[in-house]
Structures are given as C-alpha cells and as structure tokens.
Amino acid sequence: MTEAADSDLIVLRPEGLYCPAGDFHIDPWRPVARAVITHAHADHARRGHAAYLCSAPGEGVLRARLGGIQLQTLAYGKPLSIGAATVSLHPAGHVLGSAQVRVEHRGRVWVASGDYLLTGAPDDLGVGEGAMAHARAHPPANATCDAFEPVRCDCFITESTFGLPIYRWRPPGEVFAGINRWWAGNAQAGRASLLLAYSFGKAQRLLAGVDAFIGPIVVHGAVEDLNRAYRAAGVRLPETLRLEEVSDRSLLRRALVVAPPSVQGSAWAARLGECSSAFASGWMQLRGARRRQGLDRGFVLSDHADWPGLQRAIAATGAQRVIVTHGYEAVMVRWLQQQGLEAGSFRTAFGDQAEDVAGAPAAEQATPAA
C-alpha cells in the first residue's frame, strides 16, 4: 500500500477512497455521508450512503440497481465545488454512465479512474480537444456508452483488473463475428444459444453488437431490467423478450438467450431445452476457464482495459505518480517503477456478488465484473 502524504488529494480509509479537501468518498464500501460513484457495478455502488453523486448518463442504471437514493447528477466535464475541492466527471468507456473522477485543489489535480475501456485504435491518445477528435475518428470499443477520455493529472489512480501481459484484446468486431457464427450455426441445428454475460454492461454491449437478423433474442429478467434503463438513456438495443413471454417454445430453437452466469445449470436454463452455452468475458482469455465451467464456447470480450490499454491510458494522463488498484497491483506497480514513475497501490475491498466474479480464476474471485 502506498504511504499517504498529508498533502495527498485522495487517501485510503476503512470506508474507501477519501478526499480530505472535499470531505467525500469515491466508491466507498462502507456507509458514508457523501459518495461520488464512478459507475453502478455492485463493487463500486452500494446502498447505505446518505448522499450520492454520479454522472448524468448513469442516473437510470444507478437508480435501477439501488432504488430510492438521494442522488445528484453531473454532466460530463462540468465542474462542481465540493468543500475546498473542484470535482468533475469524465467518460471512462466501461459501462453506461461510467466516469473518472477529477479532483482539483490548490493547483494540483488527481484522477480516480474507476473501471475503464479504451478504443480499439492503436494510436496514442490525446487530451482535451485532441482527445475529442480522437474519439470522433475512432468509434468507442463499447458502443453502449461514452468513449474513454484521457484527463491530464499529477496523480492517476488506475484499475488493473487485467494488468498482466497475457491480456490483449482482439478487435471487438472479430469477437462479435465469432458470436454471430456460433449463434447462426446453433439456429440452423435447431438449438438455443445460451450466452452468459453480466446483467449490467456486458449484456447490453452484446445485444448492441450482435446481428439481430439471425433470430429472436430472449433475455433473463435481470438483463431486461437494465435494458430498460439503457433504452431510456437513448442507447439503441434490439427487441428482446423475457423467457416468460415466449409462448411458442419452437422459437427458442433459433434464439440467442442472454442471461447472467448464475443461471448455468439452473431450472431457468433447463426451460431452454437443447442448447449450446457460451460465456463472454475477459476471463475467457485464460486457458482452462471455459473447460472448468463446462461451456461449449468462450468469447474473450471485456469492458476493462487490457495490458496495452492500461499502459496507453496511464501515459496519456501525463501523471508522474500512479496508484494502482483493482487487480494485479504488484505487477503493474513494478512495471510503472521500471518506467521511472512513482508508483504504489491501494488495496480496496470488492463486492461478493456472484454475478460480478463468475468466470474468474479462483485466485481472482475478488475482482469486479469483466
């Protein structure tokens, strides 16, 4: 764990990341008076805080997950004074409403990234107007949310969920083409295609990326609840049916069925009849992950930055100090120090939601949704 100086803008407390100048926490895991939330995944957004702040695009999904909360929203890039600090939120490219938290105080700037995903373009990222031009020239890897925006800072708090050199993502278009071929082959053979994916974020990204002309799309109720929030936010998704709404069971033999990993082997999945099962996750990069779960296919698709993406994002901030969290901290810290940067880590707590960790290797069962 990095040693916190008295002047640090963000420090680690038992409740979570804390900004002394603004008297607020970022993604706290214990109840606090004021929580700034980077996004609505369960390991970042929890019930019990007195007041919440999130990005404007993230309001619907946060309310869908947490219910009635005292919530203030902030447009991307708009500054807000909280105590003696100035806070702004910037797109992270991870899921709908995901944000990086920029904190400025007495001329110093820190950024807490939350979770993030970069575009698939290999070009160096710019900042400011250059970053916006880059985003326009290179469509986001995740079309269901705003593209990652690099933010210049003195200190960058970065995730490292996939902070190992083995993790290098293929272009999303190639992955979706593989999913479409698998689905079409199953439909031709008369069996359902059960695609396991996290209900929030990954499921909607899959729905937006597959070829809906192959056949009907059926979803689990947990997925459809979030679909409504995405559609309300203006994200275009194909028509979907809940399994309970399917009266003609022959329809399932051509269907793509998107459901959370928890349904595998359940009575709900048994209602599909003959089916082929697959899981879409960055953890499918690991040899043996598909075999251990008894899956027919594994599609490597993550909403987190891969090893090169983490390096590009950190470089684009211009930060001379980097604090690593959420994953393979030691490996990333060592690599950063080899590059001549001041680097340390924050060991954070994670949620125990089964949906958020399914598919991860045993040693990584505390990591967030992939």
Kindly report, residue by residue over 267-312, the tens digit of the pLDDT. Answer: 999 999 999 999 999 999 987 776 677 889 999 999 999 999 999 9
Which band of pLDDT confidence, cut at 50, 70 and 90, is reported for residue 134? very low
Tokens of 360: 């991860």
Contacts with 314 (C-beta within 8 Å, 6 or more apart), sequence order: 156, 158, 322, 336
Phi/psi zone of residue 97: left (φ > 0), alpha (ψ -120 to 50 degrees), beta?
A: left
- pLDDT for 135 beyond 60: no
Phi, then psi, of 309 in degrees rounded to 5: -65, -40
Instruction: Label the pairing between strands 99-105 and 85-91.
Output: antiparallel
- pLDDT for 84 beyond 50: yes
- pLDDT for 1 beyond 70: no
CA 138 to chain centre: 19
Q: Which residues are paired to 86 by β-bridges? A: 81, 104
The whole-angstrom separation of Cα 266 and Cα 85 is 49
- pLDDT for 129 beyond 90: no
The whole-angstrom separation of Cα 316 and Cα 148 is 11
How confident is the model at residue 159, as a pLDDT? 96
How confident is the model at residue 163, as a pLDDT? 96
How confident is the model at residue 370, as a pLDDT? 63
CB 300 within 8 A of CB 312: no
The whole-angstrom separation of Cα 225 and Cα 213 is 23
Q: pLDDT tens, 212-253?
A: 999 999 999 999 999 999 999 999 999 999 999 998 989 999
Query: Residues of the chain with pLDDT > 90: what percent?
Result: 80
Q: How far is CA 303 from CA 41, 85, 150, 197, 331, in A?
A: 12, 30, 17, 11, 20
Worst-scoring range by mean pLDDT, 44-48, 93-97, 197-201, 291-295? 291-295
How confident is the model at residue 122, as a pLDDT? 44
Q: pLDDT tens, 310-362?
A: 999 999 999 999 999 988 999 999 999 999 999 999 977 653 333 344 444 43
Tokens of 155: 């200190």
Enumerate domains of the chain plus CATH numbers.
Answer: 11-168+304-364 (3.60.15.10), 172-299 (3.40.50)
